[in-house]
Structure 1
Amino acid sequence: MRRIDRFQQRHPALAYPVAVWKKFSDDRAGYLCALLAFFAFVSLFPLLLVLVTVLGLLLHGNPDLQHRVLNSALADFPVIGQQLKTNVNGIGRSGFGLAVGIIGSLLGARGLADATQYALNKLWAVPYTRRPGFPHNWLRSYGIIAVLGLGVLATTFLSGIGAWGGNGVFGIGVQVASVILSLIVNMSLFWLAFHLATAKEVGWRDQWLAAALAGVVWQILQITGGLIVAHQLRNSSSLYGVFGVVLGLIAWLYLQARLTVYAVEADVVRVRKLWPRTLFPPPLNDQDERVYRSYAAMEQRVKPETASADPSEESVQEPTGEVAEKSSATADRA
């Protein structure tokens, strides 16, 4: 075991991914992934209700266009998207129902944005005293929601372009161009969302790798993730019916959250130079000690008071009476 540990520490090609995995384990990031997947699941259905209702109001006279837009918006969820489209209906055309759906979607989306802020600041080991407080954290959350909305609109638009190209050489070229363009858009949106979700001490340059990896992972999941979700649905839909869609959706969201968190961890390890790590401590190396010191500093919840430079502002009250007697007795026993 020691020889394996020394071997991986001597080879950066092994030491770097091992350090990312070790950082993920030290952060207990699996719980953070579950938190993100839960709030994403909670926020998704109200958003779909609002989307279906708004499409029904705006495109009432054109059901074909309504279905095409809805299919484009659900293209981010391979296999599950078709299941969601058939199981989610509008909430009616009343203003009250639409208002309830919008409020529910905002609350759910803000929960996801708040969870994203908590997760990323924890991964970057930002002390609580340096994290944005009210009302700045609320403004950042609504900024993240706006970025998510832009992502849905951009994906819908690019999916429509890819479908518009049709078949043939021209159609294939249009589809390839739409994939490349959507990859660039996804990277940019991830970069902006990561910047909004972390404290200002984590700069733009610190997060470019996480945004690039997250964008690539998202694009790969769009292409190949359908096989994973299809296998999950094949085993669960026959047993649970519509709940199989729920299980597949949760699996999809958790997979996306986990890979995104790994992308952020890779950037943290790169920026903070937290490799190589020791697999079987003790002893600890310098990178291990740096990581564990950052955890201790992260738990600081009150800003330390600064000492006054003016001696006249400091006053020391001498113990008197019973307090003085107890102090004296304690000193005698010592």
Structure 2
Amino acid sequence: MVGWLDRLQRRNRRVGFLIAVIYKYVDDQGGYLAALITYYAFVSLFPLLLLLTTALGVILVGRPEIQQQILQSTLGQFPVIGSQLERPEQLSGGVTAVVVGIAGALYGGLGVGQALQNAMDSVWAVPRNNRPDPIRSRLRSLLLLFVLGSAAVTATVLSAVGHATASLGWFGKVGVTVATVAINALICLVAFRVTTARSVSYRDVLPGALAAAVIWQLLQWFGANYVSHVVKSTSATNSVFALVLGLLAFLYLVSVTLVMCAEVNVVRVDQLYPRSLMTPFTDDVDLTSADRRTYTRRAKAERAKGFQKVSVRFDPTRETSPDQSGEVPDSQG
């Protein structure tokens, strides 16, 4: 039965591709990569909101309606907490708030950038000696913060457009949704390209960026429903736990989406499919050439110095096809 299923998924490109993406995610310990991104995103979120509301209070003094619109559009990107923190007066402060906000935002924001770079370099199997040094990697993280900050500005513009087109009914809503997905896809496109040391083109990362943008939109809708049906129906004490756990779950799902969509790009670009169906479960398996390339890349990604040579061989006594035995060349140099 297993052999029949294995042959079936090897012949069907779509099924084989899907299984290869899942196996690649497991091989790279994608859940742990996503958890690290989630931690720094959670740490940076509230200081960023504190800094944002304080800045709005200074820049837009006497214009509470504009403050409200900007804050709501920004919080709308995080539906789990948006309805709980939509009033500017709930997050405000003076000099202390600015200091805490900047410190927390830099720590968490740079942490998110570092975690994303580590995740992207891991899924692309970039050797450690080819990854950016601590200074350059943090400069990349600052660039990523700029990209993510542009998302907040874009959300504000789209929110204003949404209010302006409210009279158009469902047609206007569909138009705003399509525009939102398109802009989010553009942001993901840039993020996927700048967060890895691997030389990739925008075309290489386009499928994953489109998938991430669509899933992001679906997660926002799901988060809004979560707030409506769960958080609002709980007591004040339980709502605190629901808020925190809901936010962590939301951020983790977003992180998993980013890592999984990056795996889609890698598997497609490097042709890491089809995989053997039983390869994650046993050594008694006939590896495909995609299996061997995947395991070879993982081993050579541990290279710490440029003058270090990592050679990978598989047992030639195992029964394999002629092009699947012996030493596997390094496709990355």
TM-score of the two chains, using structure 2 as the length reference = 0.84
What is residue 47 of structure 1 aligned with on the other side? Answer: 48
| Partner secondary structure for residue 248 of structure 1 | helix
In structure 2, the CA distance between the partners of 1:58 and 1:139, relative to structure 1 (3 Å rule), is same
Tell me the CA shift for residue 213 of structure 1. 1.2
Tell me the CA shift for residue 244 of structure 1. 1.7
Provide Cα deviations, 1:182-229, integer angstroms capped at 9, x if missing partner. 222111111111111001423333211111111121122223443356
Residue correspondence of structure 1 range 142-157 to structure 2 within 5 A: 142-157=142-157
In structure 2, the CA distance between the partners of 1:237 and 1:81, relative to structure 1 (3 Å rule), is farther
Query: Identity, % of aligned pairs?
Result: 38
The separation in 2 between residues aligned to 1:292 and 1:299, in whole angstroms, is 12
Paired letter, 2:117: Q
What is residue 288 of structure 2 aligned with on the other side? Answer: 285
Paired letter, 2:278: F
Provide Cα deviations, 1:24-52, integer angstroms capped at 9, x if missing partner. 11111011111111111111000000111
Tell me the CA shift for residue 92 of structure 1. 1.8
The answer to whether the 8 A contact 2:68-2:88 is kept is no
What is residue 76 of structure 2 aligned with on the other side? Answer: 75
1:37 aligns with 2:38: yes
The separation in 1 between residues aligned to 2:255 and 2:89, in whole angstroms, is 23
The answer to whether the 8 A contact 2:231-2:239 is kept is no
In structure 2, the CA distance between the partners of 1:63 and 1:238, relative to structure 1 (3 Å rule), is closer
Q: 1:257 aligns with which of 255, 261, 266?
A: 255
In structure 2, the CA distance between the partners of 1:33 and 1:233, relative to structure 1 (3 Å rule), is farther
Tell me the CA shift for residue 56 of structure 1. 1.7
The separation in 2 between residues aligned to 1:195 and 1:29, in whole angstroms, is 18
What is residue 326 of structure 2 aligned with on the other side? Answer: none
In structure 2, the CA distance between the partners of 1:53 and 1:303, relative to structure 1 (3 Å rule), is same
What is residue 295 of structure 1 aligned with on the other side? Answer: 298
Provide Cα deviations, 1:258-308, integer angstroms capped at 9, x if missing partner. 1221111111110011111012141211110110000100000111169xx
- Cα RMSD, aligned residues only: 2.2
How many residues are treated as equivalent by the alignment?
Answer: 303
The answer to whether the 8 A contact 1:49-1:88 is kept is no
The answer to whether the 8 A contact 2:34-2:255 is kept is yes
In structure 2, the CA distance between the partners of 1:259 and 1:97, relative to structure 1 (3 Å rule), is closer
The separation in 2 between residues aligned to 1:180 and 1:160, in whole angstroms, is 15
1:267 aligns with 2:268: no
Q: Which has the higher helix share?
A: 1
The separation in 1 between residues aligned to 2:258 and 2:37, in whole angstroms, is 10
Tell me the CA shift for residue 54 of structure 1. 1.3
| Partner secondary structure for residue 83 of structure 1 | coil
The answer to whether the 8 A contact 1:33-1:254 is kept is yes
| Partner secondary structure for residue 93 of structure 2 | coil
What is residue 120 of structure 2 aligned with on the other side? Answer: 120
The separation in 1 between residues aligned to 2:99 and 2:184, in whole angstroms, is 30
The separation in 2 between residues aligned to 1:184 and 1:11, in whole angstroms, is 30
TM-score of the two chains, using structure 1 as the length reference = 0.84
The separation in 1 between residues aligned to 2:258 and 2:134, in whole angstroms, is 26
Paired letter, 2:188: F
The separation in 2 between residues aligned to 1:203 and 1:130, in whole angstroms, is 18
Structure index of larger Rg: 1
Tell me the CA shift for residue 231 of structure 1. 5.4
